[in-house]
Amino acid sequence: MQSNNKKTIHKVSIFANNKKAESSQLVSDIQNFLTSRDVAYDTYLTFDAYDIKKVDKETSLAIILGGDGTVLSCARLLHAYGIPMLAVNLGTFGFITEIAKAEWESAYLEYEKGVAAVSRRLMIRVSVQRKEKRVFQSHGLNEMTISSSGLSKMISLHLYINETLASFFRSDGVIVATPTGSTGYSLAAGGPILDVNLDALIINPICPFTLSNRPLVVNGEDIIKVIVPKGQKTDLALSVDGQVLFLLEEDDEIVIEKSRSKALLIESTKRNYYEVIRDKLNWSGGLHA
C-alpha cells in the first residue's frame, strides 16, 4: 500500500557495517547527498547495538548499510523511537534488505515524496522470569530460540499458550518466529513462510523427538510461555535474532509476546516481498527449483 504523504526529513542516522567493503564509499556518498540537501546526520561506522544507548530524538530516518544482521541490530535499537529504516543490502542473502546499493538515492527520494510505503513489522518481546524475578528482557524482529548450549542436544520443554498447557516435548530446541523471521532460522527448521504483514507468530520445535510435534501458527495477540523443567541433561541458552544470548536455568519461565512497538521498514518500489522470496529461494522451476 503506497502513501501519498510527503515527508520532511530533518535528520538522518546512518548505520554502516564497516566490515562490508562497499560501506566506506557509500557512507561518503550519502553524507555528501544529505549535505547538499541541508539535512543533518549522525554516522555510526562500527555499529554495535550495545555501544549505542540512544539516538537523537530529532532523527527522522535511519539509513542502514549492511545485511539482514545489521538491520536486526538496528531494529532492536530503533523500534521504540518509531524511526523508519531505509535498509540497503550490502550482504549476500538479504530477505529484509530489499533495496539494492545502487537504489539508495531513488529510495530516499521516493520515501520523501510519499511514494514508498512503510511496512510495519511485528516484533517480539522476550522476558525470563527466575524465582519470580525478571532477569532478562529483549526485543527481536526475527525470532527467539531456546536450545542446548552443551554437548547433548536433546532438551525438554513445557509450552503454554495463554496459560493453557499446549505441549510437553523433547527436541533440539524451539523457535518462536515473527512473520519477518519466517524466512530465517524457522524456515531452515521446516517452518512455514508467512506474509510479513500478518499478525501471527510461529512456534517451531527443532528436530522434535515425537514426529507429531509440528510447527504451529498462533495469533499475534497470544502470549507464549516456555518453562524449563528440572532434569535437563544439558545446559540451555536463549538467543534473540541470533545476536543476543542469555543462559537459562531449570525452572526458568520464558514469556514471548508481541512487542508494543514495531519495526518500520521502507519498502522498495522496484520489487515486492513475493518477488524477493521467489528470487532468494530460487523458485524458478526447472532443474534448479
Q: Which residues are catalytic?
A: 68
CB 23 within 8 A of CB 97: no
CA distance 175 to 185: 8
Sheet hosting strand 133-140, strand order edge to edge: 133-140, 124-130, 253-258, 224-227, 155-161, 164-171
Q: Which of 60, 57, 30, 61 is nearest to 45 (CA)?
A: 30
Range 55-93 burial, b when 16+ CB lie within 10 A, else e = beeebbbbbbbbbbbbbbbbbbbbbebebbbbbbbbbee
CA distance 136 to 121: 23
CB 250 within 8 A of CB 230: yes
CA distance 196 to 189: 18
Q: Can you read off the three cell numbers belonging to residue 176?
A: 518462536
The identity of residue 208, as a single letter, is P
CB 20 within 8 A of CB 66: yes
| DSSP state string for 203-245 | EEEES-SSTT---EEEETT--EEEE--S--SS-EEEEETTTEE
Q: Can you read off the three cell numbers belonging to residue 140?
A: 527481536
